[in-house]
Amino acid sequence: MKLRLLLLVLGLAGSLPAAGRLTVTVTHDYAGARPAETITVPWSEVNKALPGALLQRIAVKDAQGAVLPYQVTNVAPQAKDPKGEGIAYGELLFQHDFAAGEKSATFTVEMTDTVAPVFPAKVFARYVGERLDDFAWENDKVAHRTYGPALAAPAAPGSGKEVLVTSGLDVWSKRVAYPIVDRWYNKGHDHYHKDEGEGMDMYQVGITRGCGGTGIWDGQTLWVGRNYQTWRVLANGPIRAIFELTYDTWSANGIYVTETKRFTVDAGSNLDRIDSTFTAAGNAREFTVGIGLNKNPADKGQEPVIALSPVAADGSLTQWVAQKSNGALGTAVIVPDGFAGFAADERNHLVLAKAASGTPLRYYAGAGWSQAGEFTTAEAWHAYVAAFAARLKAPLRVALSP
């Protein structure tokens, strides 16, 4: 009897599936290195392979078994989860550094009995109400901010309040990988405009487009909106931050448009993804968007030497600003799809792109600072931007197998 029972148990064990595991295989066709690539897996596929998996009770491992930091988002409204089965999330994110020539990598997602560690945040975005409605964001490479309605509001006589009407995007140059936005706002304007060991705000925006601001181009004039009006944070690390800014209606030479920008900020990248949706009133369905880089963003008295490199083949425009002090700063815009040429106005160099009303226009914008040590020459910055554009044309392919 015991022997029969033992054989039955062994037979059942042999018919049981292996422990829950989802295998993720990522391939691509780009020959060069791909540092800090973000890999995205729909949570619905994780839940299908690992029923009942919860975001805090999984492990993502590489082929050598090393546990990787990960993030689970819930950007779009998902289904409710009345049974607690973990079906309500959006996407599972993790990163991998592909070496040059490494065109395939395999990972596993597994359920765990213990709660996963809290991974250090490499990205951060927030509304800065204490500084005239600024909105600021950063990753481990570079920080940015843009300006809200309080900064654009008229100042009372004698108040001394700063007033600036602009939808341009600012750059904060970092020496360090850890988050600095809260630290710099806390220490104040007179300090973060000096390099006290972590970096500095030395970029001039004013009423220009700054680093990646937009407008409607009519062939001669760039028509731009005012400061952002509303903000919404959708995800906030540790690997990716996502947020939206909306802009009130403005007139673009007779076309009335509104804009919503969705920013996707990934760890390890000097360029952010920006999806701008312009909505036009009336019959205007298509128009040309100008995405700008300030012609002269250097601090006053710097006498900068500015090199510009427009590359129509990949829709990119790179700028290198060498200054007397504080090092050199590279900025860039890439339009991978819809590229329509280059232009300039009095204040900005522009990358042009065709856009349709109500349809997101995707582009990339960002910066790199020589004092951070990664890009010490114009050639190094131009090479980074060219490689980034080439990677966009050879996207990752993700295959899943339970």
* Residue 173 and residue 142 in contact, taking contact as beta carbons nearer than 8 Å: yes
What is the rounded average pLDDT of the residues 349-371?
Answer: 97
In which band, very low, low, confident or very high, does the pLDDT at 210 lie, cut at 50, 70 and 90? very high
What is the rounded average pLDDT of the residues 49-72?
Answer: 96
Burial string for 22-58 (b: 16+ CB within 10 Å, else e) reads bebebebebeeebebbbbebebebbbebbeebbbebb
What is the rounded average pLDDT of the residues 213-219?
Answer: 97
- Among residues 272, 244, 311, which one has the least CA distance to residue 36? 272
Residues 143 and 241 placed together within one structural domain of the fold: yes
pLDDT of amino acid 85: 61
Residues 208 and 327 placed together within one structural domain of the fold: yes
Domain membership flag for residue 372: yes
Q: Which of 70, 101, 117 is the last residue of a domain?
A: 117
Domain membership flag for residue 34: yes
Residues 160 and 70 placed together within one structural domain of the fold: no
In which band, very low, low, confident or very high, does the pLDDT at 19 lie, cut at 50, 70 and 90? low
How confident is the model over 287-322, as pLDDT tens digits? 999 999 999 999 888 889 999 999 999 999 999 999
Distances (CA, A) of 100 to 97, 104, 138, 181, 314: 10, 11, 27, 33, 21
How many separate helices (H) and strands (E) can be counted in the chain?
Answer: 6, 26
Distances (CA, A) of 66 to 166, 223, 265: 46, 51, 25
pLDDT of amino acid 336: 97
What is the rounded average pLDDT of the residues 110-114?
Answer: 96
What is the rounded average pLDDT of the residues 230-245?
Answer: 97
Domain membership flag for residue 2: no
Residue 352, pLDDT > 60, answer yes
Residues 387 and 361 placed together within one structural domain of the fold: yes
Confidence (pTM) = 0.93
Domain membership flag for residue 361: yes
Residue numbers of the domain that contains 293: 124-392
Q: How many CB atoms lie within 10 A of CB 236?
A: 18
Residues 136 and 233 placed together within one structural domain of the fold: yes
Q: Give the domain CATH number at 57.
A: 2.60.40.1180
Residues 177 and 55 placed together within one structural domain of the fold: no
Residues 108 and 224 placed together within one structural domain of the fold: no
Domain membership flag for residue 87: yes
Residue 134, pLDDT > 70, answer yes
pLDDT of amino acid 90: 92
Q: Give the domain CATH number at 289.
A: 2.70.98
- How far apart CA 200 and CA 191 sit, in angstroms, is 8
Phi and psi of 257, rounded to 5°? -130, 155
Residue 87, pLDDT > 80, answer no
Question: 100 Cβ partners below 8 Å, 6+ apart?
Answer: 31, 32, 33
> What DSSP string runs through 37-97?
EEEEEEHHHHHHHSTT--TTSEEEE-TT--EE-EEEE--S-----TT--S----EEEEEEE
In which band, very low, low, confident or very high, does the pLDDT at 274 lie, cut at 50, 70 and 90? very high
- How far apart CA 367 and CA 144 sit, in angstroms, is 9
Q: pLDDT higher for 173 or 189?
A: 173
Domain membership flag for residue 216: yes
Residue 278, pLDDT > 90, answer yes
* Residue 273 and residue 264 in contact, taking contact as beta carbons nearer than 8 Å: yes
- State the Rg of the chain over Cα: 24
Residues in the chain: 402
Residue 17, pLDDT > 70, answer no
Burial string for 137-156 (b: 16+ CB within 10 Å, else e) reads bbbbbbbbbbbbeebbeeee
Residues 261 and 385 placed together within one structural domain of the fold: yes
pLDDT of amino acid 402: 87
**Phi-psi map region of 391: left, alpha, beta (phi>0 left; psi -120 to 50 alpha):** alpha
pLDDT of amino acid 16: 33
pLDDT of amino acid 23: 98
What is the rounded average pLDDT of the residues 99-128?
Answer: 97
End-to-end CA distance of the chain: 37
What residue type is 157 in one-letter code?
A: P
- Total number of domains in the chain: 2
Q: How many CA atoms lie within 13 A of 170 on its CB side?
A: 25
Residues 109 and 155 placed together within one structural domain of the fold: no
Domain membership flag for residue 176: yes
- Max Cα distance, the chain (Å): 98
Q: Which of 93, 117, 141 is the last residue of a domain?
A: 117
What is the rounded average pLDDT of the residues 56-60?
Answer: 97
Q: How many CB atoms lie within 10 A of CB 378?
A: 21
What is the rounded average pLDDT of the residues 48-63?
Answer: 95
Computed over every residue of the chain, the mean pLDDT equals: 92
* Residue 268 and residue 139 in contact, taking contact as beta carbons nearer than 8 Å: yes
Residues 49 and 100 placed together within one structural domain of the fold: yes
Domain membership flag for residue 202: yes
Residues 192 and 304 placed together within one structural domain of the fold: yes
Residues 103 and 142 placed together within one structural domain of the fold: no
Q: How many CB atoms lie within 10 A of CB 288?
A: 20
Residue 1, pLDDT > 80, answer no
pLDDT of amino acid 89: 86
Q: Name the burial class of residue 77, with classes exposed (0-12), middle (13-18) and buried (19+) by CB atoms within 10 angstroms of its CB.
A: exposed
pLDDT of amino acid 103: 98
In which band, very low, low, confident or very high, does the pLDDT at 189 lie, cut at 50, 70 and 90? confident
What is the rounded average pLDDT of the residues 55-79?
Answer: 90
* Residue 365 and residue 169 in contact, taking contact as beta carbons nearer than 8 Å: yes
- How far apart CA 127 and CA 227 sit, in angstroms, is 14
The two structure tokens encoding residue 46: 């994780």
pLDDT of amino acid 125: 98
Q: Which of 86, 117, 148 is the last residue of a domain?
A: 117
What is the rounded average pLDDT of the residues 222-250?
Answer: 97
